[in-house]
Amino acid sequence: MSIQNSFQSGNLAAPDTIVVATDLADLSELLPHAVAQAKASNAELHIVHAINTNKVFVPELGMVPSVDPIRMAQDTRMKMEESVFPIREQGLRCTIEVGHGDPSDIVAEVTKKTGAQRVIVSSHGRTGIKRMILGSVALKILTTSNVPVCTIGPHCHAPSGAGVKTLLHPTSLGPDAEPSAKLALDLAHHYRAELTLLHVIAPDSGMEPYLDPQYAFANLESLSPPSSSDSHVTVHKRVVAGDKKREVLREAEAIHADFIVLGSHSDSGSGQTAYSVLVSATCPVLSFRTALQPELSSQQKDKYSVLA
């Protein structure tokens, strides 16, 4: 299904299939959010774990593997089955899959195979080498996925029973602003939630017209549904000056945002801001790499990884 058709049918806002990428240690953090999102759109969950064989074997030539990959896969499946049993007891469709190889590649394969319209992943690792590995996996998924990626950061609160009531969509008002704003509007319509469109004027916002508040308000207005629209979505528009990350997080706290919706941006400064929001937000962050956005360069990915 094309991106345009996905928007027309609302599949990106209300997916019928969701892939959950887990390192097993983060299951208790990811599954409550996965269940809440699956219930909201009656979606099927695919819980995916990848055993990276490059990390399993002892690198010295001629040595026996330190871990048996087959036994590891069996143990992994057992643990995952125990974790998803309560989900199935709630009547939700849920499958598990254990792959061998690079985790981000396995997630991409499962996403394509299942036709999933969303991926849920933890945006943080634990400590030491494991933290770096997990950070690179989340980063690769974020920068290559053609479907929205929902990240659950280390400060993310568990979903409330009240459902999704408020959404925040920070926008740079750049050339790729419309697709991500459309996703935010579709989400607001699906959840019947209030949406705040936020533009932050910062010293690195560039030259005119991006430094002009009137220009920002006019463009935020153009991203909103027309007054004659029957979408019944309440949209608030905010233009503030300051540090992008600080103002986005401040606004999210002020409106008690249940979701932050981010679009991808081509410049490394916006990329750094986006990823720092991902790991600092107290609510899930849904990131969407639009069709207009090319994959990040190796240099930009290096800058991202500092904030992982």
Per-residue model confidence as pLDDT tens digits over 277-294: 888 999 999 998 875 444
- Which positions ≥6 away from 55 have C-beta within 8 Å? 133
- Do both 207 and 180 map to the same domain? yes
- Helices and strands in the chain: count of H runs, count of E runs: 11, 10
Query: Which pLDDT does position 69 carry in this prediction?
Result: 74
For position 123, which CATH number holds? 3.40.50.620
Element (H, E) at 9: helix 3-9
Query: Which pLDDT does position 270 carry in this prediction?
Result: 52
pTM for the whole structure: 0.83
Residue keyed to tokens 């280390």: 154
Amino acid identity of 224? S
Query: Which pLDDT does position 134 carry in this prediction?
Result: 43
- 105 found inside a domain: yes
- Do both 80 and 139 map to the same domain? yes
Amino acid identity of 167? L
| CA distance linking residue 292 with residue 28, whole number of Å | 35
Give the closest residue to 148 by CA, choosing from 17, 8, 306: 17
- 159 found inside a domain: no
Strand partners, 237: 197
- 191 found inside a domain: yes
Other beta carbons within 10 Å of 231? 14
- Do both 231 and 90 map to the same domain? no
Query: What is the arithmetic mean of pLDDT over 83-91?
Result: 95
User: Which residues constitute the domain of residue 295?
Assistant: 166-306
Query: What is the arithmetic mean of pLDDT over 25-47?
Result: 95
- Do both 138 and 183 map to the same domain? no
**Tokens, residue 217:** 């308000």
| CA distance linking residue 48 with residue 103, whole number of Å | 9
Element (H, E) at 180: helix 177-191
- Do both 274 and 210 map to the same domain? yes
**Tokens, residue 86:** 């309560």
183 close to 148: Cβ distance less than 8 angstroms:
yes
**Tokens, residue 61:** 């030539």
Confidence bin at 39 (pLDDT 50/70/90): very high
Amino acid identity of 245? K
- How large is the C-alpha radius of gyration of the chain? 20
> Is the C-alpha dihedral spanning 245, 155, 99, 3 positive or negative?
negative
Give the closest residue to 182 by CA, choosing from 238, 227, 224: 224
Tens-place pLDDT, residues 162-215: 889 999 999 988 877 888 899 999 999 999 999 999 999 887 655 555 567 888
Q: Indicate the number of domains in the chain.
A: 2
Residue 95's SS3 state is strand
- Which positions ≥6 away from 246 have C-beta within 8 Å? none
- 157 found inside a domain: no
Q: Which of 93, 127, 152 corresponds to the end of one domain?
A: 152
